[in-house]
Structure 1
Amino acid sequence: MAENTFMLEIVTPEQILFKNEVQFLVAPAVEGELGVMRNHAPIVAALKIGVLRYKDATGTQQKIAISGGFMEVVDNKARVLAETAEHGHEVDVLRARAAADRAKQRLNMRDENINYARAQLSMQRAMARLKAAEAKVD
């Protein structure tokens, strides 16, 4: 392991999405963004829907859309257990925009049969996916 890196592992129920050395990461914690670098103090944090950013060992910044979960940091290893996670460069931007539009329409309806909490979560997931893809967010 390089002198200024630590191991980052991102796991979903379906797969190990990422496992490699990184220089730093910024995670969307429930209490606000949480930055981690090598030799960070041990911590466990709840994550919310958002974009996890990290700089890989070569110095390139990468983004991953996640929809909640937990992160544990201990002994220069950060482990993210996410409900879902998707690399920004793999996001289907048209599909994410369509999901955001559907959620926006549901949120603007005045219908008691609409589950507004579910629509808000759907909007947040779509927006996180678009931000991770670095697509223009309306």
Structure 2
Amino acid sequence: MVMATEFNFELVSPERLLVSGSVSEVVIPATEGEMTVMANHAPTMTTIKPGIVTVKFADGKKDRYVVFGGFADIVPTGCTLLAESAVHVDDFKSEDIVRRIEAARAELNHAKSDDQKFGIETYLAELTTLQGIVVPA
């Protein structure tokens, strides 16, 4: 029996379908930490935090996308990542992340509960980390 080494991957944002095809590996920024998805992965559903999705296609080509949260549905034959917002790393605009950080800071000032504050602070930390990865110093 030959083990499948490829699986179908789709990266979908509200604006458009960014990736749909056969891949050998996808690294996603799951909320619990970076996760590498390969063929025959155990069925899993996970939330995604702001970060980089690295896609390794069946032909060996690699591509990277910036995502701002969402969730991934993983089954042995495929993975669908529904992103809140996603863009190819080459099309990424640093103003976008700056705008999101400013919006999150403003939201933090109006947070009513500790849980709400914690959620916003966590998101801010994730955005700041992502900014350090994608935006050249």
TM-score > 0.5 by shorter chain:
yes
State the shift of 1:34 in Å.
Answer: 1.0
Following superposition of structure 1 onto structure 2, how do residues 122-137 of structure 1 map, counting pairs within 5 Å?
Answer: 124-125=126-127, 128=130, 131=133, 134-137=134-137
Structure 1: gaps of 5 or more residues: 108-112
Please provide the CA RMSD for this pair.
3.0
State the shift of 1:98 in Å.
Answer: 5.4
Following superposition of structure 1 onto structure 2, how do residues 9-48 of structure 1 map, counting pairs within 5 Å?
Answer: 9-48=10-49
* Matches of 2:32 and 2:121, distance apart in 1: 22
Contact 2:101–2:127 (8 Å) recurs in 1? no
**% of aligned pairs identical?**
28
Contact 1:51–1:65 (8 Å) recurs in 2? yes
Structure 1 pair 43–63 and aligned structure 2 pair: CA distance change class (3 A) = same
Three-state SS of the structure 2 residue aligned to 1:89 is helix
Further displaced range: 115-124 or 79-88: 115-124
TM-score after normalising by structure 1 = 0.71
* Matches of 2:126 and 2:31, distance apart in 1: 14
The residue that corresponds to 1:58 in the other structure is: 59
State the shift of 1:136 in Å.
Answer: 2.0
* Matches of 1:100 and 1:44, distance apart in 2: 26
Runs of 4+ in 1 over 6 A off after TM superposition: none
Following superposition of structure 1 onto structure 2, how do residues 53-132 of structure 1 map, counting pairs within 5 Å?
Answer: 53-93=54-94, 95-96=95-96, 99=99, 114=109, 121=123, 124-125=126-127, 128=130, 131=133
The aligned length equals 125
* Matches of 2:45 and 2:97, distance apart in 1: 33
State the shift of 1:46 in Å.
Answer: 1.1
